[in-house]
């Protein structure tokens, strides 16, 4: 299978971690989001993913799928290896809720296309744009910290003793937060879990700096 | 069970439809998002849902869950009644991908808290704010139209002949688009499916105007 990916996309980063955790052989196809107006806007790419966003998963029979969380759940249902979601309905619900707090409440507001709209269409200056970014990250990670710290289901990882969907979303979000110099004080549970994740090669090898299309 | 809901929240609207489609008895607890600084920010509500967003599902044993998509999948897994997701992995992946295109790519940008930030913090005028709203809705619904129109899996509803998770996300998004006078031309598949949904009492009774906390 192939994963259309951009090294810095945190949605692609999520799927890279999932592929590694499941131990699934795959080819990374880089899609440069900035070069030449964005390779995600070419006719070929849009035929595969009409949203013009990364990532896209392509199976060997050419079936394609967009949306990182849908891709991860598909990989988990379709392939053997460690389970990325818990075995019980309430556990799955909790993990999905944490993942969606990142994927629906934080990340969409800080996506490249949104930052570009703020800059080019609304003429928002760099400083106000960084404040926007940090506002949503700060608010969102405080919610995640609260969800994690108050619940005995939290273990070495977001849910118990094995990494799964929630960790897969958390690590790229913390990476982004660091890149934009967001405050990470007051988030001890998040930082502890991030550290546990980053000890695993599945997470290390999915990092932006480890990608074939990595840039400084 | 209880659903903490605001009549105009499209995330709450999704869960209301799901509860109706599953035929699950429930109590609606209105949470007014504007009154007194927002009832979603009270200590009691935040204890139940640290994100301070609606909806929240509360089970009879007091277990609570936030995030509309996580709630809907939980209801579908936990309770009998019609299935809201397809029986095959690729079908589920497709439906989740459509639902997430709405829940991750369109709706988060047009949420009340985001519109308030644009207005109060970035001093974006009403006209530019409406243009922002319409930009993301227009772009997002065009993607959905493309996903639906090109795929033979689309039937009377987004996936086959019974309504499910994708329709549950689509109808509130189209409702919002109408409320903000977004262009709906060029979206024949979406409008056809919306019409099929609105013939069903599960969708009718979940509409904002049918809620106990409805306002003009």
Question: What's the distance, Cα to Cα, between the start and end of chain B in Å?
Answer: 28
DSSP string across B130-176: HHHHHHHHHHHHHHHHHHHHT-TT--SSSSTTS--HHHHHHHHHHHH
Do A112 and A180 lie in a common domain?
yes
In a domain, B216, yes or no: no
Domain endpoint, select from A82, A108, A135: A82
Do B118 and B177 lie in a common domain?
yes
Do B117 and B78 lie in a common domain?
no
* Least CB–CB distance from A96: residue in B67, B90, B109: B67
Q: Which residues are bridge partners to A30 per DSSP?
A: A5
Give the separation between CA B130 and CA B140, rounded to whole angstroms. 15
Shortest Cα distance from A71 to chain B (angstroms)? Answer: 7
Give the separation between CA A133 and CA B20, rounded to whole angstroms. 37
Nearest residue to B34 (alpha-carbon basis) of B7, B67, B1, B2: B7
Q: What is the pLDDT of residue A109?
A: 96
Q: What is the pLDDT of residues B39-48, one digit of tens each?
A: 999 999 999 9
CA B116, B119, B122 angle in degrees (round to 5)?
115
Check whether B144 has a pLDDT greater than 90. Answer: yes
ipTM over 0.95: yes
In a domain, A56, yes or no: yes
Domain endpoint, select from B53, B82, B111: B82
Q: What is the pLDDT of residue A196?
A: 98
SS3 at position A211: coil
Do B106 and B196 lie in a common domain?
yes
Do A110 and A192 lie in a common domain?
yes
In a domain, A212, yes or no: no
Do B49 and B100 lie in a common domain?
no
In a domain, B43, yes or no: yes
Test A74 with B89 for CB contact under 8 angstroms.
yes
Q: What is the pLDDT of residues A61-86, one digit of tens each?
A: 999 999 999 999 999 999 999 999 99
Shortest Cα distance from A95 to chain B (angstroms)? Answer: 9
Distance of CA B56 to the CA centre of its chain: 13
The answer to whether B74 and A89 are in contact (CB under 8 A) is yes
Distance of CA B13 to the CA centre of its chain: 5
Test B101 with A51 for CB contact under 8 angstroms.
yes
Site of tokens 């919002």: B176
pLDDT along chain A (216 residues), means of 10: 97 98 98 89 94 97 98 97 97 98 96 94 96 96 97 98 98 96 96 98 98 94
Q: What is the pLDDT of residues A81-118, one digit of tens each?
A: 999 999 999 999 999 999 999 999 999 999 999 999 99
Positive or negative torsion for Cα B167, B170, B172, B175: negative
Do A194 and A116 lie in a common domain?
yes
Q: Give the CATH number for residue A22.
A: 3.40.30.10
Give the separation between CA A52 and CA A58, rounded to whole angstroms. 15
Domain count, chain A: 2
Do B111 and B187 lie in a common domain?
yes
Q: What is the pLDDT of residues B1-40, one digit of tens each?
A: 999 999 999 999 999 999 999 999 999 999 999 888 889 9
A114 close contact with B: CB closer than 8 A: yes
Check whether B216 has a pLDDT greater than 90. Answer: no
Test B109 with A104 for CB contact under 8 angstroms.
no
Give residue A123's domain range.
Answer: 89-203
Instruction: State pTM to two decimals.
Output: 0.97
SS3 at position B30: strand
Average pLDDT of the residues of chain B: 96
């Amino acid at each position: 299978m192939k994963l259309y990916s951009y090294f810095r996309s945190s949605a692609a980063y999520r799927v890279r971690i999932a592929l590694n955790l499941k131990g699934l052989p795959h080819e990374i196809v880089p899609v440069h989001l900035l070069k030449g107006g964005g390779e995600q806007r070419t006719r070929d790419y849009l035929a595969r993913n009409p949203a013009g966003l990364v990532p896209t998963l392509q199976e060997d029979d050419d079936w394609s799928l967009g949306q990182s969380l849908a891709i991860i759940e598909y990989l988990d249902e379709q392939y053997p290896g460690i389970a990325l979601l818990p075995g019980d309905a309430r556990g799955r619900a909790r993990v999905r809720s944490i993942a969606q707090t990142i994927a629906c409440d934080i990340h969409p507001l800080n996506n490249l296309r949104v930052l570009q709209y703020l800059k080019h269409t609304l003429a928002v200056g760099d400083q106000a744009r960084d404040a926007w970014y940090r506002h949503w990250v700060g608010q969102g990670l405080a919610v995640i910290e609260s969800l994690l710290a108050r619940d005995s289901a939290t273990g070495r990882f977001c849910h118990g003793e094995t990494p799964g969907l929630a960790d897969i979303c958390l690590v790229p979000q913390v990476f982004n937060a660091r890149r934009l110099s967001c405050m990470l004080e007051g988030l001890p549970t998040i930082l502890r879990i991030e550290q546990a994740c980053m000890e695993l090669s599945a997470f290390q090898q999915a990092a932006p700096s480890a990608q074939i299309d990595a840039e400084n």
